[in-house]
Structure 1
Amino acid sequence: MGHSLKLTLIASIVCVMIAPTVWAQEKSPLNKAGSGEQTEGKIRQLSEIKLLNTSAKELVQSPTPSSPANQGSDRGGKVIQITSVKANPTAKGVEVILETPHGDQLQVTNRSTGNNFIVDVSGGQLRLADGNAFTFSSEKPLAGITEITVINLNANTVRVTVVGVAALPTVDLYDDDAGLVFAVATTATATSPQQPSQIPQAQQPDSETQPTQPSASGDEPIELVVTGEQDGYRVPDASTATKTDTPRRNIPQAIQVVPQQVLRDQGATNFYDAFRNVPGISQSGVSSRAIFQSLVIRGFTAYNTLRDGLYDLSGEFLGYDAAIVDRIEVLKGPASVLYGQGGIGGTINYVTKQPLSQPFYEVQGTIGSFDTYRGAIDLSGPLNDSKTLLYRLNLGAQTSDSFVDFLDTQRYVVAPKLTWLISNKTALTLKFEYIDEKKSLFDTGIPAIGSVLPNPNGDIPRGRYLGEPGGKNNDRIFRVGYNLEHNFSKNWQLRNAFQAAYVRLDRDTIATNTLQNDNRTVTRSGGIQDFQNDYYSLDTYVVGKFATGSIQHQLVTGFALTRLNTYTYNTFGPATSLDVFNPVYGRPQTTPTPVFISTFKGDALGIYIQDQISLFENLKLLVGGRFDIANQTGVDLLTSTTDFQQQEVFSPRVGVVYQPIPPISLYASYSRAFVPTQNVFSTVIPQPESGTQYEVGIKADLSNRLSATLAFYDLARTNVQTTDPSNPLLLIQTGKQRSRGIEFDLSGEILPGWSIFGGYAYTDARIEEDRTFPKDNFLNNVPKHGFNLWTTYEIQKGSLQGLGFGLGLFYTGERQRDLFNTFELPSYLRTDAAIFYKRDQFRVGLNFKNLFDVDYFESAANRTRVYPGEPFTVQGTIQWEF
């Protein structure tokens, strides 16, 4: 499992007019460095610590029960990836945290001179979560401190600098849940601290964690003590909303992050299982067993996705795979201001696993119900002695049957990445992904009459397949791209990323059309479908920090280019009808004939600018705008007809965050979005959809490990595409729809070992204007109420240390199947559970899904295609990291 290493620096003011106060400390006793003695009830002063050699001092690790140090890990001497730098003001100053995936020993060299406190951390390298090098800077974080910087000095050394105004900062140590904390203070004469905009507001200090009296003068040698901390369910930062690594509490829009730990604890290898964790998300009218993946966010279909922050139209085809994806970020509401054409209800960003600068090797094997077998290999580390070439290789393979008759699946994943640290200012990452999934059939579900609605002939078996065995439903995706980042200075950075994705969908199948009046016979048709989609995305932008007087700015500006090329080949022909209660397969089908052959091309250019502004230390403003030029050309190759459209759209966003007290953020925002649309079975290009959202909310850090968000929104959508009732292969634009709702999410650690990840969503999504469907009808596949809760507890001490248990409750309310609201899918509560054991680098777990074998329905496409959910399943997983 991943771990975080914290090197915490506290810059605090020491007033020369007031004598230092000695703070009592009631935490666990601390071992003196270099001795076996203990100090009870208080923190030792630096004068009490046996100092190490000032030219090369070891960073001593204070292990926690879950840390690799306590599990026999030994990675000393290898380059450690520092994935994030955070600055958190405290009641006494500001702490700077360097986070790494594992708790490891580092070497520190004290190079302080004059008013500059300087330490070089050997064996470390700054790397953002997306694999890019970067620098951190905080100007005038408080009185007496001119600047705090963290930079890559070379390929395996990180330099931390604290510049004092009048003197070298003094040093202090105190204990908290993260271990010993390193503090610096200054004898400045200023009377009030100042905090720049890039520093998050302080969390309330723990009442049991009080800093000690500053003890030693700043020129004394220092011993730094850090601790390994297990990755948790709370992820405080996200980049999707702003294209910068911004604390979620400073973002004036709801955003939720599903971290790797949650996905791993749940055994979420399935796309829809991963998104059950996000309130406000429901499944669209597609089977979870289909290759095509579709979600509804805040009542509206999530058309497009991101991959590592880059616009990715191929995400609806096998976007999620547990072997590749590290975490999932879901930004609620429009995001066109940064990403152009995109989902109105929300944007999904798949953050993939990136190369590490330390050796990491993991193998995983899973076996489960319905003959499920899965294996995965994760390898990473440096390729040369200088640690400037880093790699990651993710491999995965899975085969499984299903409760649906005749359905079996094989999936293969290959995903290598290579990072070249060209210099301490420039990094280039090359990435490649190949996913091949083969299914023996196209799941078309079962009719509503006989499943959701009563049928005089009885109930249709949930696993009944109404097509023909021996069909074909294959999907292949090939993605290739790069990510380049260059630091001009500590405040200005250039980022350039490109991805090409090639999707090939090959389908030869028979599907159901309608249920006849006898309520037992379905008409069918079938044919060959060949989709070839090529997606290209290029994004180039600059991130810069500057000040205008006392106002701090973080600017993002750039341009993006996207291209979509699509070739569609469809043949259809009638097939023999089938008795749903007594099916007889293998009857001949009429030879299908081509009915639709077309090409489609869509190009878009977007120019955008965004400014994150700190007007005061507790008042932040986010403003941005984007201008897009998008054109689409559709060609019907059977009729030689062409349609062309071009749109020019401006998408603004304005948001404000006010923090009346440090742990609380009140926010409000306004944003707009647009989506150029395409009808798969027609070259007639619809008008683009548009959306406008107003949102207000509260974000709270209930502790330094537990956070919550409460959001209220009003979202309007126009030019909406829905299925044409007279022809299910065509789409129509129905007018205006509106979604209003409330969302709440909670994530983090309640007590040591007890983690929680949950949420609730109330969604009132209705038709407002339409020529076909009645006003105030509910939107289809959108539950009014949804609830998710996943919680785990891991024993922290004793002979059972490492043993853990998990429980999940996932509730989905009633949903209308169609816009006429002719019938609804019933609500359901699914219960999942887990038991796991971790020791050293070994983990074994059992996951139980749908523990009580509840009959439920995932979604519905129409009255003939309703998709039952999976019955009770068990999967066991063994993981070994070495």
Structure 2
Amino acid sequence: MSNQRLALPSWKLLFQVHFWLLASLASCIANGWGMSPVLAQEEQLANRSHQLGNKQPATTVEEWLAQIEASIVQITNVCVEATEEGLQVILETAEGELSVPETRTVGNALTLEIPNARIAQEYFQENAIAGIASVNVTQLPGDQVRVAITGTDAPPVAEVTAEARGLVLAVTLGEVGEVTEEDTIEIVVTGEQDEGYNPSNATTATRTDTPLRDIPQSIQVVPRQVLEDRNVTDLVQAVETVSGIVDGGRYNLIPAGGYTIRGFTQSGNFRNGFRDTDFYSLTGLSTIEQVEILRGPASVLYGAVEPGGIINVITRQPLSEPYYNLSFEARSYNFYQPSIDLSGPVDEEETVLYRFIASYQNAGSYQDFVNTSFIEIAPSITFRLSDQTDLNFYYEYMRFSADPPLAFSSPSGRWAFSNGSLVTRTFFPSYPDIHYSAQTVHRLGYTFSHEFSDNWQIRNNLAVLFNRTEENTNIPTALVDDRFFEIIGEDREFTIDNYFGQVDLLGKFDTGTISHQLLLGFDFNRYVNYFRVNSFNLPNLDINNPNYVIPIPEYDITPLRFSFGQSYGVYLQDQISLLDNLKLLIGGRFDWASSGGEESDTLNNDAFSPRVGLVYQPSDTVSLYASYSRSFVPSFSRNPDDELFVPTRGTQYEVGVKADFLERRLSTILSAYEITKTNVITADPDPVRAVQGFSVQVGEQRSRGVEFNTIGEILPGWNIIVSYAYTDAAVTEDNSILVGDQPAGVPEHQASLWTTYKIQDGALEGLGFGLGLFYVGARPVDLPNTFEASSYLRTDAAIYYRRGRFNGALNIRNLFDADYSYGTAYLFRSDPRAITGSISWEF
């Protein structure tokens, strides 16, 4: 096996390359508009320098960055005073002068947004005087501060002036009758605005809305803005900026697939915390608000999962304010996709909210013959039964068809000749007339929540999935004499019906000076799988002179068989605040699982999965944590003595540090872990029984590593995501696999950089650029290790323009046309360079 590795560039080199590319792209765009970006920057710097009392604009990058930072004015205090005319709001500053913004009225609220400003502490006051319902002063992304003053019966009026002590708003009451009851809108700003690249909370780790810094485990969020900036096409691409996750390969090019997380395969996904799809099911991106990745064992809340971690998608929900979005994308290889996203209230009282998302996709491919289509329709409706009770119903329909789909190879089939060169990427190594796939998915369910009080809440959820697939595949299994593909054909049909139900109780209470957040729950999951697979031989395909026209082979169609599995789980978790800066997380879950089918008896497993973690916060911006957790996966088979195998267990020890910088606009997490997976099934050491197919449960695999992630905003308009993972994964005990072999698809080194910059003001305001570098080291594609996929470095780029309600973008994936293989169970070739143009309009 080759030990070749591609050396990673230093962060300084990455920054220099990024800045050079951004400058070059800016020059091309700006010159096309008749303005040099250098002149534009000098004009902007001159204006900001004048504000700061400087006579000369910046002449270096360092001076430019320093002047931008210096131009941001800090609001140190908000003072609200009653006057004879009404109210006076003073935004006090220590130094620097705030810009005087224009005011605008929305319903009965007066709002103004102050640019180039930050606030030390957000402010909120109800009923400041008679006639004023609330005063809100809050921080917005992009170094803007919003002031919202809401009148009780009419919109207030304000005169805004800049004084030495800061910005002064002289507020008077508006006249009643200036707005109708239908127009009355209260703007409540509570700090829950779009946090851009760096969300501060997530629900996946605890099933509660918990700050990331309070969670004693590595968790990362990929927000909607990142998905849009990168213009990813499926969930596998969506998590490429996350350390420790590697593409495990897609199936027939459908928008689904598997992953390796911290050295272990994880083929299923979760959706809003519910068990959802497996390797073969569809997951569309149109309905996804953000993706949350919890690394390490998650069985304490989610039952039977592999110990590497889970991926949980959070979907877009109905909105209380009208929202309409139309978009269209076109891409290389005849790809096009129109889509719509509509949401808002149904009635005047806003007790019924709806959302309707739909998209249609049609695409060719770089590979000969391939053509695919994908449709997604997702309506949902929310009933606000009372101030304490919400009920949401949702449905999602997806259909993917390909005639033929993208061809793939078994790991032994490969794409390489004996001299190491690769088969031409456009070559279709199968028979297109008998290679097709069609898959249909229906999702439906409801979520219900009721608050008994401010501290106690009950939640109930039901999620149902019906998945049906019909396909005929040709799988290259070997390349003979550097010329002929040996191919096996398979006719497949399978359905997966999955039912998930859950109820939990969430409460907050104190015991003396110690605060608790308690979670007690029960869930049930059942799946039924009907399947059949018929194999048949196909003639070898000559690469030099392919003959794709062959008679359709005859074969016997076997009847459908079925299998089922079900589980019950009870879990208890307590988030304990021992001190303001010392937090304990402790929890446990007990599962009962069973499995069976028409050809086997029902077999039962049970397992207990604990988790305990401690977080110590020496300051408001630093968290130190340590945790211990376990996972399980049932083993539904028997040993030679007819005894049922016990579940496979995963055990993790993890320590880490989380830190926030630049007033929490930039966050970093550094973690180290060791996971041991025990009770792995391996061949029987008795050669006679091994030949007969018997196994024993003595295998063990271990993964240890270090992960680093930084995400957020460095300067106004400049976002960045940096990740690196070192993974030392190996088989540590086995009777048939060589000790020391790496699990399939696990590289030792993996790193990524994604960064964007959007011009904040001036003639080019709204113009932005993005650059991505994605490195994956060499890794085996099978176990035992017989074949290795080489390392690769892929470069992505983006140019976009966003202003007002308009959004236009140009994304380039695989800018330098890197050619590599990826996957484990199935081996795919990388897509060549692809350019996507997209436009959207909100109204």
Q: TM-score range by the shorter chain?
A: 0.7 to 0.9
User: Which residue of 2 is the match for residue 866 of structure 1?
Assistant: 827
Instruction: Measure, in 2, the Cα distance between the counterparts of 1:462 and 1:708.
Output: 39
1:534 paired residue among 486, 497, 508: 497
User: In the alignment, is residue 393 of structure 1 matched against residue 356 of structure 2?
Assistant: yes
CA shift, 1:175, in A, is 14
Does residue 645 (structure 1) correspond to residue 609 (structure 2)? The answer is no
CA–CA separation in structure 2 for the residues paired with 1:175 and 1:232: 7
1:694 aligned partner: 653
| Residues 601-638 of structure 1 deviation map (CA, whole Å, 9 limit, x = unaligned) | 11111000000001111110000000110111122xxx
CA distance in 1, matches of 2:597, 2:419: 47
Normalised to the residue count of structure 2, the TM-score between the two structures is 0.78
Structure 1 pair 745/288, CA: closer, same or farther in 2 (3 Å)?
farther
- Three-state SS of the structure 1 residue aligned to 2:741 is coil
SS across alignment from 2:225: helix
Q: Which residue of 2 aligns with 1:601?
A: 564
CA contact (8 A) 2:335 2:362 kept: yes
CA distances 1:401-439 after superposition (whole Å, capped 9, x unpaired): 111221111000000010000000000000111110111
Give the corresponding residue for 2:628.
Answer: 670
In structure 1, what is the Cα distance between the partners aligned to 2:274 and 2:726?
A: 30
What does the per-residue CA deviation read over 1:777-836, in whole Å, with 9 as the maximum and x for residues that have no partner? Answer: 111111111111110000001010000000001001001122232221111110000000
CA distance in 1, matches of 2:516, 2:815: 51
**1:644-793 equivalent positions in 2, closer than 5 A:** 644-676=602-634, 688-703=647-662, 704-720=664-680, 735-793=699-757
SS in 2 for 1:261: helix
Go from structure 1 to structure 2 and tell me whether the alpha carbon gap of 1:730 and 1:486 turns closer, same or farther (over 3 Å shift): farther
Contact 2:138/2:145 (8 A) holds in 1: no
1:373-522 to 2 correspondence within 5 Å?
373-446=336-409, 453-455=416-418, 459-470=422-433, 471-516=435-480, 518-522=481-485
Match of 2:145 in 1: 179
Asked if 1:802 is matched to 2:760, the reply is no
**Residues 571-600 of structure 1: CA distance to partner in whole angstroms, max 9, x if unpaired?**
122122222332211222542224684211
Q: Are 1:275 and 2:275 counterparts?
A: no
Work out the CA distance in 1 between the residues paired with 2:582 and 2:706: 24
The structure 2 residue matched to 1:359, chosen from 322, 346, 355, is 322
- 1:59–1:108 Cα contact (<8 Å) kept: no
Q: Deviations over 1:491-527 (max 9, x none)?
A: 00001111000000111233223333x2322332223
Find out whether 1:332 has 2:292 as its counterpart: no
Instruction: Give the distance between the partners of 2:763 and 2:710, measured in 1 at CA.
Output: 31
| Residues 274, 677 of structure 1: alpha-carbon distance in 2 compared, 3 angstrom cutoff | farther
Per-residue Cα deviation, 1:65-88 (whole angstroms, up to 9, x for no partner): xxxx999998646999xxxxxxxx
Counterpart selection for 1:261 from 218, 222, 225: 225
Structure 1 partner of 2:33:
none
Q: Deviations over 1:515-570 (max 9, x none)?
A: 33x23223322232111110000111011000111110000001001101110112
Higher alpha-carbon deviation: 500-509 or 578-587 = 578-587
Q: What is the aligned partner in structure 2 of residue 310 from structure 1?
A: 274
Q: Which residue of 1 aligns with 2:97?
A: none
Would you say 1:879 and 2:840 are equivalent positions? yes
Q: How much does 1:335 deviate?
A: 0.8
Residue 304 of structure 1 aligns with an amino acid whose one-letter code is G
Give the residue type in structure 2 aligned to 1:436.
Answer: R
Q: 2:518 maps to which residue?
A: 555
Contact kept, 8 Å, 1:43 with 1:173, in 2: the verdict is: no
1:633 aligns with 2:596: yes
Maintained 8 Å contact 1:400/1:408: yes
Contact 1:449 1:455 in 2 (8 A): no
**Is the contact between residue 377 and residue 394 of structure 1 (CA under 8 Å) also seen in structure 2?**
yes
Question: Given the two structures, how large is their TM-score scaled by the length of structure 1?
Answer: 0.74
What SS does structure 2 have at the residue aligned with 1:821?
A: coil
Distance 1:717 1:373, change over 3 A: same
Tell me: CA distance 1:457–1:648, structure 2 relative to 1, closer, same or farther (3 Å).
closer
Whether the 8 Å CA contact 1:610–1:624 is kept in 2: the answer is yes
* Aligned pairs, number: 719
Matched with 2:184 is none
Consecutive unaligned residues of structure 2, counting only runs of 5 or more, are 1-48, 53-72, 92-99, 112-118, 150-164, 175-186, 638-642, 685-689
Contact 1:290 1:443 in 2 (8 A): no
Pick closer, same or farther for the CA change 1:506–1:224 going to 2, 3 Å.
Answer: closer
CA separation of 1:79/1:654 partners in 2, compared to 1, >3 Å: closer, same or farther? farther
Offset of residue 368 of structure 1: 0.8
Q: Answer whether contact 1:572 1:593 (CA < 8 A) is retained.
A: no
Q: Which amino acid aligns with 1:693?
A: Q
Contact 1:535 1:563 in 2 (8 A): yes
Counterpart contact for 2:455–2:508, Cα < 8 Å: yes
Give per-residue Cα distances to partners, 1:296-335, cap 9 Å, x unaligned.
10111113321111222x2534553221111100000111
Q: Does structure 1 residue 617 correspond to structure 2 residue 580?
A: yes
Instruction: Report the Cα offset of residue 441 of structure 1.
Output: 2.8
Partner of 1:240: 204
CA deviations 1:207-241 (Å, max 9, x no partner) are xxxxx99x99xxx99x9999997641001100000
Task: Please say if residues 660 and 667 of structure 2, whose CA atoms lie closer than 8 Å, have aligned partners that are also in contact.
Answer: yes
CA separation of 1:70 and 1:379: change in aligned 2, threshold 3 A? farther
* Correspondence for 1:84: none
Unaligned runs of 5+ in 1: 1-25, 30-39, 61-68, 81-89, 98-106, 113-117, 123-159, 161-170, 184-211, 636-640
Kept in 2, the 8 Å contact 1:254–1:711? The answer is yes
TM-superposed CA distance for 1:49, in Å, is: 8.3
Deviations 1:88-133 (A, max 9, x none): xx99xx7578xxxxxxxxx964479xxxxx98559xxxxxxxxxxx
Instruction: Give the C-alpha shift of residue 362 in structure 1.
Output: 0.2
The aligned amino acid for 1:503 is N
User: For residues 119 and 721 of structure 1, what CA distance do their matches in structure 2 show?
Assistant: 69
What is the root-mean-square deviation of aligned Cα atoms in Å?
Answer: 4.2
Partners of 1:51 and 1:297 in 2: CA distance: 64
Note the 1:139-178 alignment, pairs <5 A. Answer: 177-178=143-144
Aligned to 2:555: 592
Partners of 1:772 and 1:174 lie apart in 2 by 58
Partner Cα separation in structure 2 for residue 553 and residue 675 of structure 1:
30
Which residue identity lines up with residue 210 of structure 2 in the other structure? T
Give the C-alpha shift of residue 677 in structure 1.
5.9
- For structure 1, which segment, 437-446 or 702-711, has the greater mean C-alpha deviation from structure 2 after superposition? 437-446
Q: State how far apart, in whole Å, the 1-side matches of 2:493 and 2:195 are.
A: 43
Residue identity opposite 1:710 in structure 2: L
Give the Cα–Cα distance (whole angstroms) in 2 for the partners of residues 457 and 253 of structure 1.
42
Counterpart Cα distance in 2 of 1:503 and 1:419: 25
Taking a change above 3 Å as real, the CA distance of residues 656 and 714 of structure 1, as seen in their structure-2 partners, is: same
Give the C-alpha shift of residue 857 in structure 1: 1.5
Q: Secondary structure at the match of 1:263?
A: helix
Contact 1:532 1:567 in 2 (8 A): yes
**More helix per residue:** 2
Question: Contact 2:319 / 2:343 at 8 angstroms: preserved in 1?
Answer: yes
Opposite residue 223 of structure 2, the aligned amino acid is P
